[in-house]
Chain A
């Protein structure tokens, strides 16, 4: 149960209405719509950080799902379990990212493991990630990619805490997919 009412298209403030033009924009928008001036700048930001970019979709879903699992965000884990499968991550990979199986077994590529190690260190904190973890990820990605996936982890943390604290509901479509694919 959401802690705040999720605004539908009829209740959406004027500056928020464009985000409802293609139908239900989902609970993050419907909650942010309470403060339209924040929504107006947050959505384009999220679109750039989470949307298509120089990082591969697979890499982005690894980062988002892993961060969400570490933070135990039910809403984001549900949503990105489905998104990760759509990004061609295998069932075993998704299970490992969700913390339900060993990462080493599901991800034989050391570059993937260094990425997941980096995400875990950034997400869990506190303080600066251990130097050996930073060295490992730096050896497998370039500087711009490191900046981007670190920001992606941090942005996912933001969304994790937002969605979890406000109790945002998983969408019916996501719940249907999770049921059909045996995740629930």
Chain B
């Protein structure tokens, strides 16, 4: 049976995520204290060129994958990203992660085309207060995100919010601080269904700083993830610790054809014991 013939049933049976993640770059205008990829302005950008990203997305669609995730680094540092998102969304629905600090009125104008396409921008905001938020994510982060959210919403673009905190802060109910954060996103038109709260994972800069929850293969939802350095088990896998790419969750260096890492991923998942990915909520 071909890889394409195996992927659809594996997704339907819940044995494989229908989403493929692409790391477009590793550099970022911020340098958050818990960053998995140890991103910062001057790091090796490890670029996935737009033509390569598009080709991978075409293959993902042909193989039967159903969604794309775009992450980094900060993808919106790439000048070609708005046009690339339009091209990707013609193939599959796209969620793109962003720190939300680069959405100037000029950039939002370039993004208006996304309003009619299956594209969601997922923006990080961790705390409802600038002091607490910016301590983790850098100066002015809170203010810039708060300026960007209504701009994007008014442009008709689907916006989601992601909050990353220590695992102990995630309970069955929301903390008073999280309630204030929710009031804040509701006030700009982002509903509760479009807000995720997830734990800091102890990889990359978080590991160096002793933050977050340790996560092994079985703690991470397996979602095929492609970077310039190869294909990985999960979007939480291709992390960078002390300047070196972590390789223990690497699947293959070959990323084209995408069927190669996809088949390795299928084979490894079939031998995978039940894991904790759902209980930890690392997804």
Residues in A lying within 8 Å of B, measured CB to CB: 5, 7, 10-15, 17, 33-38
**CB within 8 A of B253: which of A10, A14, A17, A35?**
A35
Instruction: Report the separation of the CA atoms of residues A166 and B253 in the bound assembly, to the nearest whole angstrom.
Output: 19
Are B252's CB and A36's CB within 8 A?
A: yes
- The answer to whether the Cβ of B246 comes within 8 Å of any Cβ in the partner chain is yes
Whether A37 contacts B248 by the Cβ 8 Å rule is no
Is B33 located at the chain interface by the 8 A CB criterion? no
A10, A11, A17, A33 interface centre (most CB from chain B within 10 Å): A11
Is A11 within 8 A of B247, CB to CB?
Answer: yes
Q: With the chains together, A2 CA to B251 CA distance in Å?
A: 23
Q: A11 vs B217: C-alpha distance in the bound complex, in angstroms?
A: 13
Nearest CB on A from B265, distance (A): 9
B260 adjacent to A14 (CB under 8 Å): no
Choose one: A7, A37, A38; the contact of B247 (CB below 8 Å).
A7
Cβ-defined contact, B217 with A14, below 8 A: yes
Give the distance in Å from the alpha carbon of A17 to the alpha carbon of B244 in the complex. Answer: 19
Interface on chain A toward B: helix, strand, loop, or mixed SS? loop
B264 / chain A contacts, CB cutoff of 8 Å: 14-15, 36-37
Q: Decide: B254 and A11 in contact? CB cutoff 8 A.
A: no
**CA of A33 to CA of B254, assembled, Å:** 13
Given contacts A37-B260, A37-B264, contact A14 B248 (CB under 8 A): yes
- Tell me if B250 is interfacial: C-beta within 8 Å of chain A: yes
Q: How many A-B residue contacts, CB cutoff 8 Å?
A: 41
17 further interface pairs, Cβ-Cβ under 8 Å (given A13-B251, A14-B233, A14-B264)? A5-B244, A7-B247, A11-B246, A12-B247, A13-B250, A14-B217, A14-B250, A14-B251, A14-B268, A15-B251, A34-B253, A36-B250, A36-B251, A36-B252, A36-B264, A37-B252, A37-B254
- Closest CB-CB distance, A180 to chain B, in whole Å? 36
Instruction: Note all chain B residues with C-beta closer than 8 A to A13.
Output: 247-251
CB distance from A154 to the nearest CB of B (A): 25
| A15 cross-chain contacts in B, Cβ below 8 A | 251-252, 264, 268
Docked CA distance A33–B244 (Å): 16
Top-6 shortest CB links A-B: A13-B250, A37-B252, A35-B253, A11-B247, A13-B247, A11-B248
Report whether B248 and A12 are in contact in the complex, using a CB–CB cutoff of 8 Å: yes
Residues of B within 8 A of A (CB): 217, 233, 244, 246-254, 260, 264, 268
Contact B246 A14 (CB under 8 A): no
Nearest-neighbor residue (CB-CB) of B244 within chain A? A5
> Contacts of B252 on A, CB cut-off 8 Å?
15, 36-37
- Bound Cα distance from A5 to B246, whole angstroms: 12
Point out the residues of chain B lying under 8 angstroms from A35, CB to CB.
Answer: 253
Q: Which residues of A contact B251 (CB under 8 A)?
A: 13-15, 36
Q: Which residues of A contact B253 (CB under 8 A)?
A: 34-38
A34 surroundings in chain B (CB, below 8 A): 247, 253
Please determine whether A10 and B260 come into contact, CB atoms closer than 8 angstroms. Answer: no
Are B249 and A14 interface neighbours, CB within 8 A? yes
Q: Which chain A residue lies CB-closest to B249?
A: A14
Using CB atoms, name the residue of chain B closest to A12.
B248
What's the nearest-Cβ distance from chain B to residue A8, in Å? 10
Q: How far is the CA of A14 from the CA of B252 in the complex (A)?
A: 9
Q: Which residues of A contact B248 (CB under 8 A)?
A: 10-14, 17
Q: Which residues of A contact B246 (CB under 8 A)?
A: 11
Which residues of chain B are within 8 angstroms of A33 by Cβ–Cβ distance? Answer: 247
Determine how close the nearest CB of chain B comes to the CB of A29; give it in whole angstroms: 14
Residues in A with CB closer than 8 Å to B268 are: 14-15
**Residues of A with C-beta under 8 A to B244:** 5
- How far is the CB of A162 from the nearest CB of chain B, in Å? 16
Q: Contacts of A10 on B, CB cut-off 8 Å? A: 248
Question: What is the CA–CA distance of A45 and B124 in the complex, to the nearest angstrom?
Answer: 48
